């Protein structure tokens, strides 16, 4: 089969298409012919050598995708050859064929395309646990969403609005501000200074001024990391900051006394601590698919590259000029 591989760490130019051995089906697994593969920043980090990679070169990136089951291993129940499925955590997905553990298989409804599944599963499951588990958003809450024009950010905005919250987004430029507004944010501030009541102020203060009663937000979803102290400056007493990413760099160390003095909560979030069984994957993805099919949840159109143009896809992702998902198709 053909796969997008690399033999050394570096920029997008290290990626190339190569013929590699087909994956062998084993007990408790299936082999899937991929139709759409999601590209994520984790792929960039692994290509650069910042994330752990198992095995020896050539390495194959990719963990998220969708396709058709071609082989079913011994002991697998409820999955048949020809089934349309998606997955969010199966390695070596940047290939024509991928081996997926049966407990990580997510069935696709007929109305959910392969491209849509590969666009929404990883980011959608992340947004889902953040608003239901890390901090259960309630009607009337004031919510701050970092990187509100990104894939997770847009879904967070929409899921919070569905729960009846007021949402303010944070973005890096005016174009992304418009994307966040289209996703449903009630207000969007730019990082750095924000215009509020006719003068320039820090975005954390702009958030407080925007919030009900001017006391601060109930919760901030922070995927940037280096902004953590500003996130705390944005919440009210007894407020919560959910830290779930470091796109902007390492977070500062937090003094527990600061948390105690204002009864603040800092909680971390990692998808794989919340989605640990197939039942959890199917339930949560089913809720996402249901909201999409009924029009409650909108997913921005993907940018699609052939797998052979993986270098260009990685360059676009690293440029941070894209707002929707980037998809690779074999």
Residues 242 and 298 in one domain: no
Residue 107 lies in a domain: yes
Please tell me whether residues 248 and 296 are part of one structural domain. Answer: no
Q: How many CA atoms lie within 13 A of 23 on its CB side?
A: 28
**132 found inside a domain:** no
pLDDT tens, 102-117? 999 999 999 999 999 9
Res 197: pLDDT = 45
Domain stop point among 268, 286, 307: 268
Are 50 and 83 in a shared domain? yes
- Residue 200's pLDDT band, with cuts at 50, 70 and 90, is low
Q: Total structural domains in the chain? A: 2
Structure tokens at 200: 């320039």
Domain final residue pick, 232, 247, 268: 268
What domain range is 90 assigned to? 2-120+278-329
Q: CATH number for the domain including 50?
A: 3.90.180.10
The enclosing domain of 248 has a CATH number of 3.40.50.720
| Interatomic CA distance for residues 158 and 153, integer angstroms | 9
289, 109 contact by CB (below 8 A): yes
Do residues 167 and 262 share a domain? yes
pLDDT at 319 > cutoff 90: no
- Sign of the dihedral defined by the CA atoms of residues 230, 235, 238, 239, in that order: negative
Average pLDDT over residues 129-149: 97
Q: What is the pLDDT of residue 318?
A: 87
Residue 32 included in any domain: yes
Strands 84-87 and 142-145: unpaired
Identify whether 129 is part of a domain. Answer: no
Question: Of the ranges 144-148, 200-204, 294-298, 301-305, which one carries the lowest mean pLDDT score?
Answer: 200-204
180 and 249 in a common domain: yes
Residues 231 and 308 in one domain: no
Strand partners, 242: 221, 267
CA dihedral of 123, 91, 312, 41, whole degrees rounded to 10: 40
pLDDT tens figures, 259-278 = 999 999 999 988 989 999 99
152 to each of 120, 156, 188, 195, 244, how far by Cα in Å? Answer: 9, 6, 16, 26, 11
- C-alpha–C-alpha distance, residues 118 and 263, integer Å: 40
Residues 254 and 177 in one domain: yes
Model confidence at 193, in pLDDT bands (50, 70, 90)? low
For residue 148, tell me if it sits in a domain.
yes
CA gap 190, 200 in Å, rounded: 11
Residue 134 counted as domain residue: no
131 part of a folded domain: no
207, 238: one domain: yes
Query: Burial letters for 228-253: b for 16+ Cβ neighbours within 10 Å, e otherwise?
Result: bebbbbbbbeebbbbbbbeebeebee
Residue 126 located in a structural domain: no
Closest Cα partner for 63 from 43, 93, 34?
Answer: 93
């Amino acid at each position: 089969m053909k796969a997008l591989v690399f033999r050394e760490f570096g920029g997008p130019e290290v990626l190339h298409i190569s013929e590699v051995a087909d994956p062998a089906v084993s007990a408790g697994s299936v082999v899937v012919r991929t139709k759409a593969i999601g590209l994520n920043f984790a792929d960039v980090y692994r290509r650069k050598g910042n994330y752990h990679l198992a095995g020896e070169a050539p390495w194959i990136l990719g963990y998220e995708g969708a396709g058709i089951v071609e082989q079913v291993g011994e002991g697998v129940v409820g999955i048949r050859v020809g089934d349309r499925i998606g997955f969010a955590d199966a390695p070596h997905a940047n290939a024509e064929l991928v081996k997926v553990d049966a407990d990580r298989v997510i069935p696709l409804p007929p109305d959910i395309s392969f491209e849509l599944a590969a666009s929404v599963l990883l980011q959608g499951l992340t947004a889902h646990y953040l608003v239901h588990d890390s901090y259960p958003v309630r009607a009337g809450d004031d919510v701050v969403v970092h990187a509100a024009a990104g894939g997770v950010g847009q879904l967070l905005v929409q899921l919070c609005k569905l729960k009846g919250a007021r949402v303010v987004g944070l973005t890096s430029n005016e174009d992304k501000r418009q994307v966040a507004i289209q996703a449903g944010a009630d207000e969007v501030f730019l990082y750095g200074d924000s215009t509020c009541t006719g003068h320039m102020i820090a975005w954390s203060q702009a958030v407080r001024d925007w919030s009900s009663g001017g006391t601060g937000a109930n919760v901030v979803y922070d995927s940037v990391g280096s902004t953590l102290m500003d996130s705390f400056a944005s919440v009210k007493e007894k407020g919560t900051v959910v830290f779930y990413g470091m796109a902007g760099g390492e977070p500062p160390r937090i003094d527990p006394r600061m948390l105690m003095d204002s009864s603040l909560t800092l909680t971390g979030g990692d998808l794989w601590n919340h989605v640990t069984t197939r039942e959890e994957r199917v339930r949560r993805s089913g809720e996402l698919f249901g909201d999409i099919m009924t029009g409650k949840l909108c997913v921005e159109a993907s940018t699609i590259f052939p797998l052979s143009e993986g270098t260009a896809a990685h360059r676009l992702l690293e440029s941070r000029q894209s707002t929707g998902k980037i998809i690779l198709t074999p």
